Structure 1
Amino acid sequence: MKEQTEVGKLKEGRYVIIDDEVCVIKSITKSKPGKHGSAKARIDAIGLFDGQKRSIVQPVSAKIYVPIVERKTAQVLSIAGNVVQLMNMDDYSTFELTVPDEDIAKIKEGQEVPYLTGLGKMRLDVR
């Protein structure tokens, strides 16, 4: 799910959609309006699910899509290699996620872990 907002209302640490990917805004630089143009904003962001760096330049008054990112909790049912089977604690639905090698050591079976969902994608939020 997503909603529309103006570029000028965005803040650092919030989410934005760039190239159909959910991104976390790392910096926003706004320029002053010129003689024949409007003020521009340069947004530097990092993909929430793929970790790629992206940036866009748009007028401050332009509309842009902002994703609705939800933080939920799930219980770890089983771990098989890099694939973790989880059960959502709200509706008890089960699903599987592929987890990077450095995060596998941080989770155990039976443990409750937070995860993020946005635009139909999911990611464990293990710190």
Structure 2
Amino acid sequence: MAEDGGSSGASTTFPQQCSALRKGGFVMIKGHPSKIVEMSTSKTGKHGHAKVHLVGIDIFTQKKYEDICPSTHNMDVPHVTRKDYQVIGLSDSYLSLMDDGGNTREDLKLPDGDIGKEIEKKFDNEDSFMVTVLSAVGEESVIATKVQN
């Protein structure tokens, strides 16, 4: 039976054959949702399976992970969604965000590192800007900012 795209009880990942994965796509490497940055396939060996060597960057922590898998085997691919929110507030290192439907949320922490500093700076300057929130496997994180038109 086909699984519908609804989020209630739907799996956070789906299987995809290793040979069908593409650079720039997403895959679970060692339990981490990662964006594929490098991919190479070795020749068929004595026992008949070509191997795919994957290098991915964790979409939340930016850590690098590697994996090798036979091209005919399945790997888990995370359901990744991106959503843009307008930043309307910042308090106790939590962001107040509003989506394009006017719904607000205040459950996302200010990210660490450069993006967090950039958000604080733009907020202090009273710039009007958006943040891009990436969500996968039950985790969410702000990954980018952009000027609001």
Alignment TM class, shorter chain as reference: 0.7 to 0.9
Tell me if 1:15 matches 2:26.
Answer: yes
Identity, in percent, stands at 24
Spell out, residue by residue over 1:35-84, the C-alpha distance to the aligned partner (whole angstroms, 9 max, x if none): 22311111011111111111111100001110111111112132236432
Q: Name the TM-score, length of structure 1 as normaliser.
A: 0.86
Q: Which runs of 5 or more structure 2 residues have no equivalent in the other structure?
A: 1-11
Q: CA RMSD in A?
A: 2.0
* 1:92 corresponds to: 103
* 1:1-127 correspondence runs (5 A): 1-80=12-91, 82-90=93-101, 92-94=103-105, 95-103=107-115, 104-106=117-119, 107-108=122-123, 111-126=129-144
Q: Which runs of 5 or more structure 1 residues have no equivalent in the other structure?
A: none
- Tell me, in whole angstroms, the C-alpha distance in 2 between the residues paired with 1:22 and 1:82: 25
Instruction: Give 1:102's aligned amino acid.
Output: D
Secondary structure at 2:45's aligned position in 1? coil
Q: Which one has more relative contact order, counting CA pairs under 8 Å at least 6 apart? A: 1
Asked if the contact 1:114/1:126 (under 8 Å) is kept, the reply is yes
Aligned residues: 127
Structure with bigger helix share is 2
Structure with bigger strand share is 1
Q: Name the TM-score, length of structure 2 as normaliser.
A: 0.74
Q: Residues 90 and 121 (structure 1 numbering): CA distance in 2 closer, same or farther, change over 3 Å?
A: farther
